[in-house]
Amino acid sequence: MIQRKFKIWLEIDWLTIAAYLALVIFGLLNIYSAVYQPEHPSLFDMEMRYGKQVIWVVLAFVFALVIFLIDARFYQFIAYPFYLIMIFLLIAVVLFGTEVNGARSWFQAGAFRIQPAEFGKVAVVLTLAKFLSTFNIQIHSMRTLTILVGIVFLPALLIFFQNDTGSALVYFALIFTLYREGLTGYVLWIGLAIAVLFVFSFIVNPFYIALIITAITVFLYYQDRKSVLESTIALLTFTFTNILVYIINEYFDLGYQPFFLVAMSTLPVAIIFLAYAIWKRIKSAMYLSLIIISSIIFLSSVDFVFNEVMEKHQQTRILVLLGLKEDPKGAGYNVNQSKIAIGSGGFSGKGFLEGTQTKYDFVPEQSTDFIFCTVGEEWGFLGTTSVILIFVFLLLRLIVLAERQRSNFNRIVGWGVISILFFHFSINILMTIGLAPVIGIPLPFFSYGGSSLWAFTILLFIFLKLDSTRKEFLQ
Amino acid sequence: MKKFDNRKYVIGAIIIAIALAMIIRLFIIQVVDNKYKLSAENNSQRHVVEYPARGMIYDRKGELMVYNQAAYDLLLVPRELKSFDTLAFMRILGIDREYIRENIAKAKQYSWHKPSIFLKEISVETYAVFQEQLYKFPGFFVQTRTLRKYPVPVAAHVLGYVGEVDDRWMEQNPYYKPGDYVGISGIERAYEDVLRGQKGVSIFLVDVHNAIQGHFMDGKYDTLAVRGENIVSTLDLKLQAYGELLMQNKIGSVVAIEPKTGEILCLISSPSYDPNLLIGRIRSVNYQALSRDTLTPLFNRAIMAQYPPGSTFKLVNGLIGLEEGVIDEYTAFSCNGPASVPIKCSHNHRSPISFIHAVEESCNSYYWKSYQAILNNPRYSRIQDSYTAWRNHAMSFGFGKKFNTDIPNELSGFIPDYKYYDKYYGPKGWRPMTIRSLSIGQGEIQITPLQMCNLAATIANRGYYISPHLVKEINGKPAYSDSVTYHKTSVSRENFDLVVEGMSLVYQGDHGTARWYKLPSIPMAGKTGTAENPHGEDHSIFIAFAPVDDPKIAISVVVENAGFGSTWAVPIATLMMEQYLTDSISKPEVEKRMIETNLVARGRGTSDKKD
Ligand SMILES: [Zn+2]
């Protein structure tokens, strides 16, 4: 027994723990610098955020230790009940929670505040792993997909209702886990295509996008079928209807927008082609028609949602994000300040506690979501690159660990941890350098805040515990 | 699940790709692109300096002497500059292409991201038009300033003027930044710290269209400008204006002091200028013109011109003789009138003449003999010692040194010490005879009109003076600084009583040099003098105070090239004192003659000034 325990300590992946400690300690240093006030120089000053963060860190270490002492099978056992408790808490927080910065996502007891959404990730990862590791599961069966979507979307939806969109979006990161577990690769490519189409719909008039997509699909059809006749008929049909609708618009002086005309002419033709393709069972024609139809519907809805549904500030935020509008005070203000802070750090930074941009609240939320600014300003390019490399090392190491599991449950938990860490890491840093929308999610292990630090620590150490006992499991 | 094993590589590749994108982006932001480093300093915010209104200046009765008027400066931040419609720009502002090019270059040279002044003091109308079109001219913005205004255009020398700081000033006072105004002379200079107030800074957020989007962080980091404190000066605006009127077309100065307080009631230097000429954009042109004027209107004669005091100094010598005990009330000396040696006496009077009448008639022989007695005093073995004793007495009247209160640029005058003569004649080479001119206030002695007036005040006070000064109150509180102090002369009061008696006879006596102007209602006391002028006609000098028994005003008048003291200086001093004490003039014909006379043409020679 003693020998076995000793063996467990040997089996722990100390490399991961080293990366974890590096991030936590470097994070603490940066939080110290970000909120540093000369009157409160002590790192352990409980009036300051760094003093509190020291407590959160110590408690996180305690949690990590406790997680190691608990039997590994407990986590598989607890998954479903934990999930139910979390759903219950997420409903409760929508109803009875305390509002902070416009998001009703906190339970408050005195000075102590906790954010259930952070712990929701742990529950979802465990539940997803337990469900997917069920014997002989068919990931593409309708029933499985429905349950999977339910497991992921229910908490996301509840968090969305708390008005905490950022934390809700995190759950979509689990697509990576599902992809690894065999979900069709199309999900990734379709997601990518949607993102590209979305971005381009603002940069280029959707009128041209629709025309280009049509042209490309016709070309692809020709590539597939090698039939000049069919391709020409398709091209001429599209062109003819477009010109017809255009002439009607001009003749009757209807004054519709060009994109509306393209949609009105192309959509019916594509639907006819689709029907024809289904009837003749021409698979490629079917897909290509579908692409045209869905693109036009997507473009129309983006257009509609943007112009009719969104409010002015939301529109601005999107335009600023896409670099189509400069507005240093408005939506882009945080990002602009953040970029200035990071940029001002130069190659080697201004030095610990020497930052000026991150002091004086130039950068908002700077000990939490924008902690990376402090790294950028005070530690320069060397510091930012180091943080990124540590994260990359951690993530790649976790992939190695996940892939060496014999148990499906262990592996899926591993991939869940990877997916969530990766999403937080990439979106957080990309948003501070203006490459992703500001959706307000913390940098794992780094940002100020007990809830997120604990949630990430629990996630990571549950997996490390599972990994340390991987040889005992054979499920 | 083996068949999906290779998907770990896909995800790993995505992770690495995103990390690479981050690193490349960070490399651009942090290392390649300088934009953010520059931004970090200005940070898309515009720091607009809020200039406080300079403190106003009132006269002793609360009349406004200096106030402020809004002016608008056009500023430029080169970093924000984009190509703009120069034609419209030139049309609105009334400037040419050359001006634009030069000043943009100048601004860039000063700083890339700090604002520099592009065009000063645009009019309210231009400002209104420009403000509407501001969005067309990124990088430009308008800053409100204030300019000095003078409701009554007098006291230019006393008030001084305000101008842009120079490099040397900025080096010594880091508070000042290029384009800031600072008091350069007069009260503006002496009370710069009080008048200027405290600049404030407003941090505005500015969008790419050069439009201000509001205060940064709702004004959390703005500092409010603190307006300058108001000053009540000791001047009597009415008296000052009246004196300037009397002195028009004459060269010289008038200084009046309230003896009991040392408060300067007027400080006139003629010719003067309209202080409204030296404000803002027109300042440099007018300054050039004024400084080229051969009558040197910028030169403040009241504190910077140094004249030999002439007969007025006989009062001092008489007082020292009495104090040293070499003469007394009853001492009488004979006088041979124009036949007197070594100094002729131009007066025709009884002989021998006693102390009081010697004051009344300004007998040169009497003062030469007294002075000889002072220097030959058997108490002292050497002339150096007796001379030093005399000099120390003289210095106790405030001669030969500055008052060092709040009057910038005052000169100290000159009372030579014995070394001066030792050096010139050798220690054994000089005797009372050698320096006989000093006995009648000629020779090497140099005294400013302010010091002459202070002499009148000292005698009016019978033996003491309060340092003359220009400011009474700052922001409602008494402004007497440590530099305004009580000075007791080394001569005792009884001796002053004798001198006052003699000075009284100058007006009231049958032979007094000012008897033509005496007023039955106000007993006055005075002493005429004539400063020898090697360059032209002599300068007319008169010092006086009134009423004799309870002096409210002491005055000195110097009219250059006016000849004998009683002709011009006496009536002017008398009119001034009457005006101040009764607020009326009983001899309008004298006033009319004084105002209308032009003495400028009588001589181009001026005093021996050191400037
Ligand atoms: Zn005589």
Counting Cβ atoms within 10 Å, is residue A475 exposed (0-12), middle (13-18) or buried (19+)?
exposed
Q: Which of A349, A375, A328, A381 is nearest to B28 (CA)?
A: A381
B240 residue type, one letter: Q
Q: Do B381 and B336 lie in a common domain?
A: yes
Q: Is the pLDDT of residue A28 over 80?
A: yes
Once rounded to an integer, what is the mean pLDDT over residues A115-132?
91
* Residues B167 and B262 reside in one and the same domain: no
Q: How many domains does chain A have?
A: 2
**Residue numbers of the domain that contains B157:** 45-231
Same domain for A455 and A338?
Answer: yes
Q: Which of A242, A277, A309 lies at the terminal end of a domain, its last residue?
A: A309
Whole-number pLDDT of residue A361 = 46
Say if strands B162-164 and B140-149 run parallel, antiparallel, or are unpaired. unpaired
Does residue A317 belong to any structural domain of this protein? no
Q: Is B19 a member of any domain? A: no
Q: Quick one: A114 and A244 in the same domain?
A: no
CA of A91 to the centre of ligand 1 (A): 118
Q: Which residue of B has its CA nearest to A434?
A: B25
Q: Which residue has the higher pLDDT, A191 or A333?
A: A191
The rounded radius of gyration (Å) of the Cα atoms in chain A is 26
Residue at A422 is within a domain: yes
Residues A207, A215: Cα–Cα separation, whole Å? 13
**Entry pTM:** 0.56
Residue B418 lies in a domain: yes
CA of B338 to the centre of ligand 1 (A): 8
Structure confidence at residue A203 (pLDDT): 63
Q: Are residues A118 and A248 in the same domain?
A: no
The answer to whether A433 contacts B22, with C-beta atoms less than 8 Å apart, is: yes
Q: Is residue A350 part of a domain?
A: yes
Q: Mind telling me how many Å the CA of A132 is from chain B's nearest CA?
A: 11
* Residue scoring higher pLDDT (A317 or B540): B540
What is the distance of C-alpha B414 from the center of its chain?
A: 20
Residue B221: its chain A contacts at CB < 8 A?
360
> Which residue among A362, A381, A408 places its CB closest to the CB of B27?
A381
| Nearest Cα residue to B246 out of B272, B223, B265, B228 | B272
Query: Using CA atoms, how far apart are residues B458 and B527, in angstroms rounded to an integer?
Result: 13
Most A CBs within 10 A among B3, B29, B204, hence the mutation to make, goes to B29
Of A99, A127, A116, A112, the residue nearest A168 (C-alpha): A116
Encode burial over B40-62: b for 16+ CB neighbours within 10 A, e otherwise.
bbbbbbbbbbbbbbbbbbbbbee
* Dihedral, B345, B350, B353, B355 alpha carbons, nearest 10: -90
What is the nearest CA distance from B46 to chain A, expressed in angstroms? 12
Q: For residue A459, is pLDDT > 70?
A: yes
Burial class of A83 by CB neighbour count within 10 A (0 to 12, 13 to 18, 19+): buried
- Provide ipTM, 2 decimals: 0.80
Average pLDDT of A140-151?
84
Residue A412 in domain: yes
- Is the confidence at residue A473, as pLDDT, over 70? no
Name every chain B residue with its beta carbon within 8 A of the beta carbon of A182. 1, 3-4
- Residue A328 carries which side chain, given as an amino acid letter? P
The tokens of B126 are what? 């231009």
Closest CA to B551 of B478, B492, B463: B463
Give CA–CA dist A128/A149, Å, rounded.
10
The residue with greater pLDDT, B552 or A106, is: B552
Residues of chain A neighbouring B5 (CB-CB closer than 8 A): 403
Cα–Cα dist A263/B501, whole Å: 115
Which of A313, A397, A433 has the most B C-beta neighbours within 10 Å, making it the best mutation to test the interface with B?
Answer: A433
Give the model's confidence band at A269: pLDDT under 50 very low, under 70 low, under 90 confident, else very high. Answer: confident
A6 backbone φψ class: left, alpha, beta (φ>0; ψ -120 to 50):
alpha
**Which of A126, A178, A318 lies closest to B4 in space, CA to CA?**
A178
Q: Are B504 and B596 in a shared domain?
A: yes
Q: What pLDDT was estimated at residue B524?
A: 95
> Do residues A298 and A199 share a domain?
yes
> Using 50, 70 and 90 to split pLDDT, how confident is the model at A312?
low
Label residue B605 exposed, middle or buried (CB < 10 Å: 0-12, 13-18, 19+): middle
CB B514 within 8 A of CB B566: yes
Q: A208: which residues sit within 8 A by CB, 6+ positions away?
A: none
Does residue B503 sit in the same domain as residue B404?
yes
For residue B145, the tally of other CB atoms under 10 A from its CB is: 21
Task: Report pLDDT for B258.
Answer: 96
The per-residue pLDDT for range B409-458, each reduced to its tens digit, is 899 999 999 999 999 898 888 999 999 999 999 989 999 999 999 999 99
Structural domain includes residue B345:
yes
The answer to whether residues B219 and B246 belong to one domain is no
Residue with tokens 């200096």: B66
Look-up of token digits 């050039």: B288
Q: What pLDDT does residue A407 have?
A: 87
Q: What does the block give as tokens for B557?
A: 């008048």
Decide if pLDDT at A57 tops 70: yes
pLDDT tens sequence across A270-279: 888 888 888 8
Q: What is the pLDDT of residue A160?
A: 78
Q: DSSP code of A101?
A: T
Q: What is the pLDDT of residue A319?
A: 65
User: What is the chain A residue with the closest CA to B40?
Assistant: A340
- Residue A319 in domain: no
pLDDT value at A330 more than 50? no
Q: Are residues B271 and B194 in the same domain?
A: no
Q: Are residues B405 and B530 in the same domain?
A: yes
With a cut of 70, list the residues of chain B below it in pLDDT: 1-3, 35-46, 79, 111-114, 205-213, 216-221, 481, 564-565, 601-611
pLDDT of res. A183: 78
Select the residue from A325, A329, A393 to test the B interface by mutation, using most B Cβ atoms within 10 A: A329
Residue A316 reports pLDDT greater than 70: no
Distance CA B106, CA B99 (A): 10
Residue-range definition of the domain harbouring residue A293: 190-309
φ, ψ of residue B397 in degrees (nearest 5): -90, 0
pLDDT of residue B111: 65
Render B267-327 in DSSP notation, one character per residue: EEEES---GGGGSGGGHHHHHHHHHH-TT-TTS-HHHHB-B--GGGGHHHHHHHHHHHTSS
The confidence score (pLDDT) of residue A110 equals: 67
Give the model's pLDDT for residue A1. 46
What is the C-alpha separation between B61 and B480, in angstroms, rounded? 17
| pLDDT of residue A136 exceeding 80 | no
Q: What number is the average pLDDT over the span A281-292?
A: 81
Statement: residue A333 has pLDDT above 80: no
Is there a single domain that holds both residue B326 and residue B448? Answer: yes
Give the model's pLDDT for residue B479.
80
Nearest chain A residue to B3, by CA: A182
- Is there a single domain that holds both residue B278 and residue B246? yes
